[in-house]
């Protein structure tokens, strides 16, 4: 079971790294408006460009999009935990090995150790910024790194 969990975490971390790599043109300056870029990419992904909307309105008179739901609560909980762990892996200040992530119906519990109070806040913020998370309880203690 642990091997499967680490595999899933690795897949998410790898996919996120590829996504970041693909979004950035190396050597070019970073975008000045990342929110606008994110919204624009979502519009493309969900087929909400002007041409798509015009085609829908001409065809049916309305625009309808449905976000795919994850089947079953437990699958969603496993996905949430894997995404949070992947975020911890990619964060320099946090150790994914030192923080356990438990998820029950969208309620996240973080337990273990972090190097500082700021790191505890960062871990909670990363968890809260994950789709499907309803709330976060951080039961982390401060243990400075050697």
- 56 plus 82 within the same structural domain: no
Per-state percent for the chain, helix, strand, coil, to nearest 5: 50, 15, 35
pTM: 0.52
Query: How many domains does the chain contain in total?
Result: 2
Based on the domain organization, do 61 and 86 belong to the same domain? no
* DSSP H or E stretch at residue 54: helix 50-60
For residue 67, what pLDDT is reported? 45
Radius of gyration of the chain (CA): 19
Do residues 59 and 79 share a domain?
no
Tell me, yes or no, whether 38 and 86 share the same domain. Answer: no
The arithmetic mean of pLDDT across residues 96-123, rounded, is: 89
Q: Which domain holds residue 138?
A: 72-146
In the predicted model, is pLDDT for residue 70 greater than 50? no
Dump pLDDT digits (tens) for 15-34: 777 666 666 554 445 555 56
């Amino acid at each position: 079971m642990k091997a499967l969990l680490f595999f899933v975490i690795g897949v998410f971390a790898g996919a996120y790294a590829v996504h970041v790599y693909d979004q950035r043109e190396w050597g070019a300056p970073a975008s000045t408006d990342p929110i606008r870029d994110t919204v624009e990419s979502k519009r493309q992904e969900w087929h909400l460009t002007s041409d798509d909307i015009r085609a829908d309105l001409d065809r049916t008179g309305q625009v309808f999009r449905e976000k795919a739901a994850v089947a079953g609560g437990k699958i969603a909980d496993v996905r949430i935990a894997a995404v949070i762990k992947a975020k911890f892996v990619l964060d320099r200040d946090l150790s994914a090995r030192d923080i356990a992530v438990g998820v029950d119906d969208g309620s996240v519990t973080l337990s273990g150790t972090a190097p500082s109070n700021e790191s505890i806040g960062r871990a909670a913020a990363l968890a809260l910024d994950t789709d499907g998370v309803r709330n976060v309880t951080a039961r982390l203690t401060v243990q400075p790194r050697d």
